[in-house]
Chain A
Amino acid sequence: MSNSKLDLKKLEARFDEILESFDKEKIDAWFRFNEEQLRNEAILKGKYLKTFSIDMEKSHLVNDYKASVEEIEEEYEWLKMAS
């Protein structure tokens, strides 16, 4: 059951229309945008960490980022809110 009140036919037509407007160039641009956003977010998160340093940015964010993603995420969310 659903109470979304969505008109799926209309929704799908709109979906297809939007997707159709994306050619290879636009998709390439979206991948670049996505990667840039991820990089910016990682650096921003690192900067909010108490222990952040330039070396951290290189070693921690680049090499060990995945290992401590939860710690970075929590600090980032809270410190960003507090700022």
Chain B
Amino acid sequence: MERKKIKEESYIIAYHTQEERGKELDEPIDCYRDDAWLGIGSYYWVDLEFAHYWGHDSKTNTGHYCIYKSEVNEEGILNATFSEEEYLFFLRSIEKARKKLTISRKDVTLKNVHQFLSDEVWSSCNLKGIIFDDLPVNPKKGGRVYSDILPLYYKKRIQMVVFDKNNIKTFQPYLRYEKCIKI
């Protein structure tokens, strides 16, 4: 992950992909409940490559997509991808929450668990966001494969959800009018 240090604070350089609609955004568009897999918040890719794939595969309605670049303050953002301790905490949290939810329902989904944590727990814990690696394929567009050596998915497809917009220091257009190309 690309980082920048500003006055002892560490910032992750991250990319937010949207449809190109001709209008420049002032801030990221939050994902909503039905497709926010880590809960409601601003979703970023930490690799430009995946930001482009997301544009080609999932932001296709106008035929073009755009990518915004942000500096996101890492303070308070759980790094469940590269920090063993933080990953293990994340894992325990998911398991505890899942167990808790089963007192009401037997058919608890992972999405229920993430949504519950996002609605009821994370903000009270002052957690500002989560970094986690997504599935190695885009479930909505199954054709994209993120590996040159199948079936070895050696490249992490890392996403970051930011719950607290105060952590987003900058938000600037990086690439506009990128053409969507079907694979």
Q: Are A73 and B10 also in contact (CB < 8 A) when A3-B75, A30-B116, A34-B112 are?
A: no
Q: What residues on A are CB-neighbors of B86 within 8 Å?
A: 2, 4, 6, 8
Q: Are A3 and B125 also in contact (CB < 8 A) when A41-B33, A73-B32 are?
A: no
Query: In the complex, what distance in Å separates the CA atom of A38 from the CA atom of B10?
Result: 36
Task: Say yes or no: B103 contacts A27, CB within 8 Å.
Answer: yes
Chain B interface residue number, banded? 35 or more
User: B111-149: contact bitstring with A at CB < 8 Å (1 yes, 0 no)?
Assistant: 010011001110011010000000000001000000000
Interface membership of A77, Cβ < 8 A: yes
Task: Say yes or no: B124 contacts A2, CB within 8 Å.
Answer: no
Q: What residues on B are CB-neighbors of A54 within 8 Å?
A: none
Interface membership of B96, Cβ < 8 A: yes
Chain B nearest CB: distance from A64 CB in Å? 14
Task: Say yes or no: A18 contacts B125, CB within 8 Å.
Answer: yes
Q: Are A30 and B119 also in contact (CB < 8 A) when A1-B82, A77-B29, A78-B19 are?
A: yes
Taking a contact as CB atoms closer than 8 A, the residue among B82, B83, B104, B127 that contacts A11 in the complex is B127
User: B137-175: contact bitstring with A at CB < 8 Å (1 yes, 0 no)?
Assistant: 000100000000000000000000000000000000000
Which residue on A lies nearest to B61, using beta carbons?
A74
Task: Say yes or no: A4 contacts B19, CB within 8 Å.
Answer: no
Task: Say yes or no: B34 contacts A4, CB within 8 Å.
Answer: no
Task: Say yes or no: A8 contacts B89, CB within 8 Å.
Answer: yes
Task: Say yes or no: B92 contacts A12, CB within 8 Å.
Answer: yes
Q: What residues on B are CB-neighbors of A42 within 8 Å?
A: 34
**Residues of chain A at the chain B interface (Cβ within 8 Å):** 1-6, 8, 11-12, 14-16, 18-19, 22-24, 27-28, 30-31, 33-34, 37-38, 41-42, 69-71, 73-78, 81-82
